[in-house]
Structure 1
């Protein structure tokens, strides 16, 4: 039976361990939040991640060492029972600092913005500022292991188990924090509120530890044993700890990248892989804490098992993209399946990488068990051991996670990590004695033979973006090779490279009719094809250039295929185009697209800078007539920054007077709420906005400087007729001025007058990436917000370029512009023609041609639909002769069509919809529905409000 003192000590340990879970939770949330904060300061997601990991791990390493020494000093001075009070002060200090962090960050951002931009020097200064920001709390977090190990271990025999338990529970909390930060906290609360909430957790934990220390009447002043103060051969143990840290942190980076190639490079992928790592590290530590007796050989067996598991993992990784596709086909494209799918992904990751990480999680507790047999100061030895291991993790983050990828591909970095682990296993085995040296030699020889036999990963396993194939195909369950064979036959890989930012491939199709096309593929997702996407990429340059007051300079965000850059430099008035491209591999692949982009890489007008666009914008003092942003999709990790309010402000401020900013966005694999969020954010920055389209669901959003003149139709017509612009339009598939104007979707003033309600996407309230990733999971096709009401409809009629005076609108040109790719505009056009010329013999042909063209974009038109929509037009000179009653179903259909197919190019008549409802007639018991429908229709045309009746 436990004495009162033992019971009190047991309760103290239990409460302390519970608080340790909370501090682990908050610590991982901080790491995720800091990565997003420092993305603003440092730019690139990959560079920010490397910097955050490096500074965070470096701070922990310093903290482990410092607090290990402090515990020795406190023990020597007889203050051992008050170590928990010290730790309470440490945790409370973290909490205060984190609550103040947003204010401190704002100050550092101002300091960075006033410093001169000096390329690499500027980045180094920003890294230093980042270290000043997150270094102090990271150092303080390094106090957990050494202080609590010393303060709460009862004796030397108890030390290993309890030390492993502290490590395991702190890491278990970090596991929950990794998932909560990525999936819930930051998307729902934003960065500032998350930091405040986590700071309160640390303050509370600090108070709790302080109270435990004050009420603790007795405790082990020391858990010393007789033995030498210096550890025999500590350098070998430290070297092994460093190598294991380097190996596993490098492996984590590789697996995050493989996860992006397998399930898409979203913020959820990052959170899932990190969460699996920290959970499995915790499980490994739990396993050691649960062992009643730890054999001396356990450490060596653990290390060679880890080597064997890494060999197996190397051979399994190329199957991951195919396996992920098979898993994805098991879940429906609905929101309710989202968390179930990611839970299945989590379980799959546990099976794939769990064994390796569990073994690595057991390494430090086992190393500690070896060392605690020889020392009289558990806190200091734990601090020194974890300091070396964390230093290895720091090297893994900076070298394996970034620098080595400047020269090596992912599979080669994996081999470097594997070699480090083999070296660690050899060092520890040879430490056990003469006999073990023979064993280690044999194992090293076997590992070396296996290492040399490793083959390269086939890039064809990773480049096809199988994660975008949500529905099963005939070959989905036929095995990887059978599934990939048709894809391999359809396109050849002419370039492949893994760089620190992404995995880049160039795929070639053809020749077909003597012509080839090439695609740039980033992380398994095509970001542009020289044939299929030419019109969008070209119009992203042509439209702002035609609408800007002058075009002498341009800035393009993202090189891609170089077609946007090529269209700008093809204009005689353009003297200089700066291209910001973050990926070294994309820059290396650029010459492969010269055949399609006016030989961009050989043109002296082009200045390519290898940097993040946000840093380039903030650091530049120049202004540009045209700025074009063509990033990847916002669900891709790090891309959402380029859609933020802060970035748009930076871009707007770099526009010359009369300049235009163009932003690509998409309506495929997203939802209407995400489109509205992007437009709302755009309108919050630019006072004048219009929206055009390139190809089908590809949008081009234009923001104008206040003194631009986008409604000068005469100047626009003259520019379109000039040889340079005319050639550019023809290359884009546009053969007339009318067809060009038909690409305008939301004319100037429409977005602002619609007053779209909802949040704004900002760097500190980053919601777009989260929403876009969920919408990507569903694979929806988004609609533009309905703006056919009130002032928005009025401005649409007034400002639509097609409606400007002096237009000669040929039916064929209108048809090509409106019916080529977008169903809603086509239906409205055909309906208007049906109303104006119901007996026109061309109608069946137009409907047939529209179906043929729209089929590629998932649309279609029927004569029944055209006739229904035609009733929504009412011409001024028309005498309404239709007095017959309108059935309720037909009136409801008219309201739905009014919202679905409203086009500012071919606007419906609000009065026509109201007239239909005024003639709604049903059985007496349903007449109330007609009255309600009329009220709803009036609201629709005046305010755009209300839910449509079914």
Structure 2
């Protein structure tokens, strides 16, 4: 990996940290205005995820420039511009939220118009979060188009997000407040934008010597040639070992369905865990930051591990199905322990006369992170495996940004559905325990179906290839 690519991954990590700094801050601001109910939290999450999905879909719809030199610099400039838009939106968000107070007061009407208040709350969340969330979502396919390593980018961004969630919830907001914490996020966006602009100036698109530009074009063609050779070798190896055509070529339908269900389950778990931790730990910023940091840390570990495995395996769809099954089992086990055993442990800690608040918070956060680790690692691994399953080994000619945006958008649409279903339907109607079980059941069924489909496809391919070999031998 060249130094420019390493620098860009670090920049994208900083962008992920800024995104979670904003999410913690904005969740705090919006719940102060919209309420601390599960429905309010679900509305905020759904609006945020909707913006991410829309931005990713729009960004993936644009084709790259044909000229290799322009293709090298254009994504970097677009990415830097988006980072500036995110920073500007973050500075304007408190002003827009303050201006919405009269509309909220009118809609609330002393509690006599709950339906109207709910609709206005959704509208305000979409307006306030739409632009920055869409810009955040658009950065991923654009960054992946330049780096051509979407899974590595996802892992780096998620690792930065985990750092941002921990820093914002446990240190920045308590120490310097919401406004100054927002400026920390703005500074991180500024670093990412400045670094991307700097990298753009160092690409062959901005050099005046034709020799450098020609060198870049040769390198670009060489990479494509190597990818094509690897694709042909992978296809031949798969055919010789009896791999299924579904896994050898691509499994976009399986990948989109599985990653959408993964996003659905993840957001149901996130909303439910936010509620559960508020009951066990307390409805504080620490509780939300604990949940967010625990979730995102596990996602980062899972995506990083899956990125390495996805490069070596010829069966990403099988791995994808297995991760859904693991996440379902571990989610139910973690929810059972948190509901039955964790309150007793926390009560014992609080009753200790020598307890120190800071140590107590850190201990609770570590306990929750370890409890959620198996589930979140499995959920984090689904995205890289979905990318590998959707693309297949012959995707070098396809648009990286378009394929990445489709998988990302499917995952985010599932997340939107999960956030809304958890806050407005599942938790109010069937309770927390049944909500965890329903999300786990959906993930388990999807994982089982995906596993059955891939196994049957492999058997079908083996039977066809077995019948074709004697015919070929007779000829």
Q: Distance in 1 between matches of 2:298 and 2:334?
A: 19
- CA 1:405–1:319 in 2, change beyond 3 Å: closer, same or farther? closer
Q: Contact conserved, 1:67 with 1:147, CA < 8 A, in 2?
A: yes
**Map 1:192-591 → 2, pairs under 5 A:** 192-217=179-204, 218=216, 234-291=252-309, 293-308=311-326, 310-315=328-333, 317-320=335-338, 321-326=340-345, 329=348, 332-334=352-354, 337-373=356-392, 374-375=394-395, 376-432=398-454, 434=456
Bigger relative contact order, structure 1 or 2 (CA pairs below 8 A, ≥6 apart): 2
Q: Residue 50 of structure 1 contacts residue 397 of structure 1 at CA under 8 Å; is this kept in 2?
A: yes
SS for the counterpart of 2:430 is coil
Aligned match for 2:51, one of 53, 56, 59: 59
Q: CA deviation at 1:435?
A: 5.6
Summarize the Cα distance change of 1:233–1:361 in structure 2 as closer, same or farther, 3 Å threshold. closer
Q: 2:71 aligns with which of 80, 84, 87?
A: 80
Conserved 8 A contact 1:68-1:382: yes
Please state how far the C-alpha of 1:339 moved relative to its aligned partner: 3.1
Does structure 2 conserve the Cα–Cα contact (< 8 Å) formed by 1:84 and 1:210? yes
Distance in 2 (alpha carbons) for counterparts of 1:312 and 1:209: 40
Q: Aligned-pair distance for 1:365?
A: 0.5
2:237 aligned residue: none
CA drift at 1:380: 1.0
Q: Distance in 2 between matches of 1:116 and 1:288?
A: 47
Using the TM superposition, give the Cα deviation of residue 75 of structure 1 relative to its aligned residue in structure 2, in angstroms.
5.3
CA distance in 1, matches of 2:252, 2:291: 33
Shift in Å at residue 330 of structure 1? 5.5
Residues of 2 paired with 1:411 and 1:437: CA distance?
39
Residues 1:169 and 2:156 are matched in the alignment: yes
TM-score by length of 2: 0.79
Count, aligned residues: 417
1:48 aligned to which of 30, 40, 55: 40
CA deviations 1:65-110 (Å, max 9, x no partner) are: 111123x344578631011111011101111221222222222334
Assess if the C-alpha contact under 8 Å between 2:298 and 2:380 holds in 1: yes
Between 1:49-58 and 1:74-83, the stretch displaced more is: 74-83
Shift of 1:234: 2.7
Find 1:68's aligned residue among 60, 64, 70: 60
Give SS of 1:424's match.
helix
Query: Which position in structure 2 is the counterpart of 1:128?
Result: 123
1:115-162 residue CA offsets vs partner (Å, 9 max, x unmatched): 794541243123212211111000000123211212013xxxxx3xxx
Q: CA deviation at 1:280?
A: 0.6
**Whole-angstrom CA distance in 2 between matches of 1:205 and 1:241:** 28
Distance across 1 between alignment mates of 2:173 and 2:291: 18
SS of structure 1 residue aligned to 2:100: helix
Deviations 1:727-775 (A, max 9, x none): xxxxxxxxxxxxxxxxxxxxxxxxxxxxxxxxxxxxxxxxxxxxxxxxx
> Secondary structure of 1:359's match?
helix
Q: Which moved more, 1:317-326 or 1:217-226?
A: 217-226
User: Do 1:57 and 1:394's aligned partners in 2 also have CA atoms closer than 8 Å?
Assistant: yes
Q: Secondary structure at the match of 1:253?
A: helix
Instruction: Answer whether contact 1:244 1:424 (CA < 8 A) is retained.
Output: no
- Take 1:424 and 1:76, find their aligned partners in 2: how far apart are those partners? 42
Show the counterpart of 1:39.
Answer: 31
- Contact kept in structure 2, 1:238 and 1:388, CA below 8 Å: yes
Deviation by residue 1:182-214 (Cα, 9 ceiling, x = unmatched): 222223333233223322321232121111112
- 1:231-279 deviations in whole A, cap 9, x for unaligned? 8653332111111111121122223333334434433222112111100
Would the alpha carbon gap of residues 290 and 73 (structure 1) be closer, same or farther in structure 2, given more than 3 Å must change? closer
Which of 97, 100, 103 is equivalent to 2:89? 97
Instruction: Show structure 1 runs of 5+ residues with no match.
Output: 1-8, 154-158, 439-950
Classify 1:431/1:294 alpha carbon distance in 2 versus 1 (closer, same or farther; 3 Å): farther
Structure ranking higher in strand proportion = 1
Residue pairs, 1:787-806, within 5 angstroms: none
Judging by fraction of residues, say which structure has more helix: 2
Deviation of the 1:328 alpha carbon: 5.6
Distance 1:366 1:313, change over 3 A: closer
User: What 5-or-longer segments of structure 2 have no aligned partner?
Assistant: 205-215, 232-248, 461-475
Matches within 5 A, 1:538-687: none
Q: Determine if contact 1:75/1:221 at 8 Å carries over to the other structure.
A: no
Secondary structure of 2:164's aligned partner: helix
**Cα RMSD, aligned residues only:** 2.9
> Counterparts of 1:190 and 1:318 in 2: how far apart (Å)?
35
